[in-house]
Amino acid sequence: MAERFKNFVDGRWVDARSGKTFENRNPADRDDLIGYFPLSGAQDADAAVKAAKKAFPQWSRVPAPKRAEILYRAGELLRLHKEEIAKGMTREMGKILQETRGDVQEGIDTAYYTAGEGRRLFGQTAPSELTDKFAMTVRLPLGVCALITPWNFPLAIPTWKLFPALLCGNTVVLKPAEDTPHTAVKFVELLVEAGVPRGVVNLLHGRGEEAGAALVRHPDVRLVSFTGSCAVGREIAAQCGRDLKRVSLEMGGKNAEIVMEDADLELALEGALWGAFGTTGQRCTATSRLILHRDIKKAFTEKLVARAEKIKIGDGLNEEVEMGPLINDAAVEKVQGYVQVGKKEGARLLTGGSPCRDKTLQRGFFFQPTVFDRVTPQMRIAKEEIFGPVVSIIEVKNFEEAVPVLNGTAYGLSSSIYTRDVARAFRAIRNLEAGITYINGPTIGAEVHLPFGGVKDTGNGHREAGTTVIDIFTEWKTVYVDYSGKLQKAQIDNVD
């Protein structure tokens, strides 16, 4: 009998008010039922928000260094349970163990980094224009934060949001993706063990259109932090705009790797394979376009196809496997649909293009590594996010042509160029429209102490990770202390 899991509200594990549940299954083996999870609705969201609101006054008054100590303990617990969480994550969402271990490590790194910021929630001091007057700024928490997270990084992304939110003195309701609820349960269990007080962290399972939407609309939620699709992000932004509610959005990407004629081709090939097929292409930073200089295009393409066809596909719990499944049947249908779109548009399919036919893979959502050639920048497969193991090759004659091709999508998350020319590298840093640019590295591989985010339709201007995330989860307050003993009028009394 599969285990039945619960929401975590006001320090207690509880069922959804409706009593309804949904199944969580292994994408590498759909016969493997991980468990049943609460199908929450508006009433459950309301209870979680009320609990967080009740806990906010006391939690916000805990000194930031003391809050940081709890986060550090959470990092230590994640470190101790790293292998257990990684294996559970692979079973739940499919990516290989090497990657799920990295996912947990990212959470550990975020815990340690954020804990260090507990003694650096700096404001500013500034001279006043008036005599015997002091001026400064301080950071204050917002209140209840709704954190809506995706399935492809089921531990790392929740830590990116939750740890800084708590450090700043906010309370939270975490709504994980319905494809990865089990990892969220394990995370919250460790947070409780680390000492997070009752009501400070609440966990709400369910579908985005029900539980997630109820959180976004709730009048007591002061901030919504969302990572997911651009379509959903637009709806969230519209609702938060109507409510004058702060919102942080991290959405899609259509990232490209430029390979110039002077590049280290073996290095660029390794980057392309990792960027395109790591996490089965299910990353917002995945390399979905390869912009190749015409002088090296033929040789590079041949090597890419040969290597792609040798990628070992299977259950990610097998240490020899290099690429796991897509997340679910809908993902398979979407990727297969884009393959058909590419063919109709006139692109040439070099390899892959269909679900894996091996009998040992029939119970999972496995898809072949897919490479398209003769792609033009105007094609849909060159502009739209596919979120699968599909990469499109676009030929250019020089660097000056490559830059507008890379910039020619609605997204602007990550970018990459392989070149030995330092001048080109710095022009790429300046001219590529992306929140992240890698020189001689793939488009994937963020580090937690640096800002993460993009431009254009990738988000709404906020950055997660690094010190910039603190700006999302705090309000600035300006403070004036006048000890002159008389009324002083700024912009009036300072003028002769």
Active site residues: 250, 284
Q: Is 40 left (phi over 0), alpha (psi -120 to 50) or beta?
A: beta
Number of H helices, E strands in the chain: 15, 22
Closest CA to 455 of 428, 432, 434, 430: 434
Cβ atoms of residues 249 and 236 within 8 Å: yes
Closest CA to 323 of 370, 363, 279: 279
**Structure-block tokens of residue 189:** 């269990």
CA distance 488 to 154: 54
Nearest-5° Cα angle at 449, 445 to 451: 75
For residue 368, the surrounding DSSP H or E stretch is none
Closest CA to 277 of 351, 443, 388: 388
Q: Is 445 left (phi over 0), alpha (psi -120 to 50) or beta?
A: left
Q: What residue type is 317 in one-letter code?
A: L
With b for 16 or more beta-carbon neighbours within 10 A and e for fewer, the 334-350 pattern comes to bbbebbeebeebebebb
- Label the pairing between strands 124-127 and 455-456: unpaired
Which residues touch 477 (CB under 8 Å, ≥6 apart)? 137, 138, 139, 140
Cβ atoms of residues 433 and 405 within 8 Å: no
Which residues are bridge partners to 287 per DSSP? Answer: 255
CA distance 490 to 496: 13
Write down the residue that tokens 């990459």 correspond to.
Answer: 416
3-state secondary structure 235-257: HHHHHHHHCCCEEEEECCCCEEE
Which strands make up the sheet holding 370-373, listed edge to edge?
A: 348-351, 370-373, 390-396, 287-293, 255-259, 414-418, 436-439
Judged on CB neighbours under 10 Å (0-12, 13-18, 19+), 477 is exposed
In 191-286, DSSP assigns E strands to 201-203, 221-227, 246-250, 255-259
- Label the pairing between strands 144-148 and 221-227: parallel
CA distance 166 to 432: 34
